[in-house]
Structure 1
Amino acid sequence: MRIASYNVENLFDRAKVFNVDDHGPHQEIIDAYAELSKLFEKEDYSDQDKTRMLELLGVLGLLNRDEGEFAFLRKIRGRLIRRPRDRSEPKEIVANGRGDWVGWVELKTEPVDEMAMILTARVIFEIEADVIGVVEAESRPVLTMFQDFMAKKFDLEVPYAHVMLIDGNDQRGIDVAIGTREGYDIVSMRSHVDDLMANSERVFSRDCPEYTVVTPSGNRIVLLVNHFKSKFGGNDPASQAQRLAQAKAVAGYYKRLRDEGIDNIVVLGDLNDTPDSEELKPLIEGTDLKDASTSEKFTEFEFRADNGNRGIGTFGLGNDDDKIDYMLLSPALFGRIEKGGIFRKGAWPGSRPPRWDVYPELTAPLHAASDHHLLWVDIDL
């Protein structure tokens, strides 16, 4: 069977701020959004916090109204900011802490470039995985609509008879999902959206669902699909601590499954950190899970190793220190690997010179299927 993992970075709609133009993504908006979201969650707002909030709202274009070019200020209950009608008068943060109001900053979305959608489909259709873990999917209906629409466009059979997504904790609707071909039945699901850290905050930014799949030969395999806390807006101690907590939690689920007598387990997805990071140690070193890319049979990198890199990176330009996507296998599955690799034809290859071959239609970064590269592995199961 072939298993794949792919961060599609949304299928139909993507945060407007992430869409690259001639000047690149709007980093100042990204940083302001991340910092402001963290300030909003503080129990008490100091005078310094309030001053900084006003500065960041200004960067986001939200100082005078609730809608800017790249973001909305969503208010459900209570009041965050006082805006005098006379714009010459100063604005004021009137909430004194998280308990005084309910709301958040939300990034605006816009339709994904049509060619990017088409190339995303080509990547998924061409790899022909029997089971695929999908990261950054909007919803189950969107996933099914996407594959139905693209199958009709390419005059192909719909690849995944079974598609499942459990809503996670991300307010932007960025979730993880699974698709399986006919004959690969999803027989059970278990969510961890409500698991808590020691500080009573939720462990997962999205979820770590456990899906049990039965293969046509009757074998059972459990897949844990992940999207760990990102370094988006900076890699501060809070982000590091959450990724560490997520790695520890997933390691715990894995050990429980093994104690229950389950041998065929895959932990896959975007873990947003490198194999040598402290944050991933509980998974990489604290269990007997094995990284599929370390197998001698995992050889199809499609990377022109002309810059000192082996080409194991899974993000951006594929450099070794860009490895943030994983397929971690239990020993029973690792020992059955037949071959595997990284599929890059839908990712922007750079231009000095291009680092891998791409689809002919991929002529600009805007058209890239994703900044992430698809991982796949064939297992004799």
Structure 2
Amino acid sequence: MKLAVYNVENLFDRAKAMNLDSWEDGRPVLEKFAALNGLLGQIAYSPADKTRMVELLHDLGLEKSDTGPFVILRRNHGGLLRRPRTGGVVIEADGRADWVGSLELRDEPVNEHAMRNTARVMMDIEADVLGVIEAESRPVLAAFNSEILPALGGAPFRHVMLIDGNDERGIDVGLMSCEGYPIGTMRSHVDDRLPNGQPVFSRDCPQFEVTTPSGEKLLVLVNHLKSKGYGGTAASNAKRKAQAERIAEIYRGLIANGASHVAVIGDFNDTPTSAPLAPLLEATDLKDVFTHPAFDDGGYPGTYGLCNAANKIDYILLSPGLFGKVRGGGVFRKGMWPGSRPRRWDAYAEVGRPADAGSDHAAVWAEIDI
């Protein structure tokens, strides 16, 4: 069986603020969007809250219209604000119950070449079970599977599953599997909570039970941990550590209940020696497939960007029962931009510029005798 994980960075549409040349370009927008969304969701708005809301509306290009360059304010009912003819914005609502609507990030279509290169990667790695990171929704993932893969000559996966998570940007995690690898029992951890009441997982930590042709049961936990793209460093690290602690707790519970074939896969947004990932990488018996003697990293230690050691952020972690059955593994980078001076790896001919890459992430795979 070949198990793989791939951050596709959206399939058809992506938030405009996340589709700029770099994370740093979109970071201010995402931070202000999160700040304004948090204020708008409060039960009561203080005068200071209202002042800050006006500042953020201005910064997000919503001073004169509900549609800004990166954000849309949807007002379905009630009076949130008014825009006097003399200019500016006045917040009239005194709390969330005074109006009905939402603040949303604007989407734009993914580059057509990038979309096709994403599909090529999904086809060429020939995974039996594929964890997918940053897919918009199950209908979108299913449409990509049934329409785009066959259009490029690929065989669609037989099973496609994705459970909506906590992220408002349309970047969820899911699982696809081939004929003979049905997805059975599923469990979401979308509602797990921190002591302060906030969700543990930025997206989710869905748990999928997959049955192999031999009848063995494989439990796959798919993850996308808190990014470093926006938010303060200390807060992001704390969030990622809490997520790693909860995944470790879930894993230990599965093992205690008799599971022996468990895989924790995904984009963890941090490096193997980082403190936030220590509860998962050091305090459990999970093993990174990168450390297996049969694993080939292709000459580069990372999985993101130019694949330096500091960019090793995508993982396949295996329980000892699975790690002992690994027969090979590697990093598939043909859908990534290889750099230009020099080109670091062979890429698809269609990856003529960074914007044409299927993703900034490589796909990671492991061949397991199960």
Q: TM-score, normalised by structure 1?
A: 0.89
Aligned to 1:187: 184
Partner Cα distance (2:323, 2:345) in 1: 27
Match of residue 344, structure 2, among 352, 355, 379:
355
Aligned to 1:239: 236
Contact 2:266-2:315 at 8 Å conserved across structures? yes
CA-based RMSD of the aligned residues comes to 2.4
1:1-381 correspondence to structure 2 within 5 Å: 1-20=1-20, 25-41=25-41, 45=45, 47-75=47-75, 78-84=78-84, 86=85, 88-96=86-94, 103-158=101-156, 160-299=157-296, 301-303=297-299, 311-381=300-370
Amino acid of the structure 2 residue aligned with 1:334: F
Q: CA deviation at 1:102?
A: 5.5
Can you list the C-alpha shifts for 1:295-326, whole angstroms capped at 9, x where unaligned? 22211x234xxxxxxx2222112111112211
Contact 1:263-1:332 at 8 Å conserved across structures? yes
Gaps of 5+ in 1: 304-310
| SS of residue matched to 2:204 | coil
Q: CA deviation at 1:156?
A: 3.4
Q: CA deviation at 1:327?
A: 0.9
Contact 2:163-2:172 at 8 Å conserved across structures? yes
Can you list the C-alpha shifts for 1:255-307, whole angstroms capped at 9, x where unaligned? 110001101000011122222222222211121111111222211x234xxxx
| SS of residue matched to 1:363 | coil
Q: CA deviation at 1:92?
A: 2.7
Contact 1:20-1:365 at 8 Å conserved across structures? no
Q: CA deviation at 1:234?
A: 3.0
Distance 1:194 1:322, change over 3 A: same
Contact 1:11-1:137 at 8 Å conserved across structures? yes
Can you list the C-alpha shifts for 1:341-361, whole angstroms capped at 9, x where unaligned? 111111112222222211011
Can you list the C-alpha shifts for 1:210-248, whole angstroms capped at 9, x where unaligned? 111111111111000111222232334443332222212
Partner Cα distance (1:78, 1:284) in 2: 49
Amino acid of the structure 2 residue aligned with 1:240: N
Paired residues in the alignment total 370
Amino acid of the structure 2 residue aligned with 1:302: G
Distance 1:289 1:214, change over 3 A: same
Partner Cα distance (1:273, 1:104) in 2: 32
| SS of residue matched to 1:134 | strand
Distance 1:45 1:274, change over 3 A: farther
| SS of residue matched to 1:369 | coil
Can you list the C-alpha shifts for 1:83-123, whole angstroms capped at 9, x where unaligned? 22x1x344233445556556543111111111111100100
| SS of residue matched to 1:178 | strand
Amino acid of the structure 1 residue aligned with 2:278: K
Gaps of 5+ in 2: none
Distance 1:99 1:275, change over 3 A: farther
Contact 1:20-1:366 at 8 Å conserved across structures? no
Partner Cα distance (2:304, 2:202) in 1: 20
Partner Cα distance (1:23, 1:193) in 2: 25
Distance 1:21 1:323, change over 3 A: closer
Contact 2:123-2:155 at 8 Å conserved across structures? no
Partner Cα distance (1:147, 1:233) in 2: 31
Contact 2:24-2:229 at 8 Å conserved across structures? no
Distance 1:168 1:338, change over 3 A: same
Partner Cα distance (2:289, 2:186) in 1: 24
| SS of residue matched to 1:376 | strand
Q: CA deviation at 1:26?
A: 4.3
Q: TM-score, normalised by structure 2?
A: 0.92
Amino acid of the structure 2 residue aligned with 1:274: T
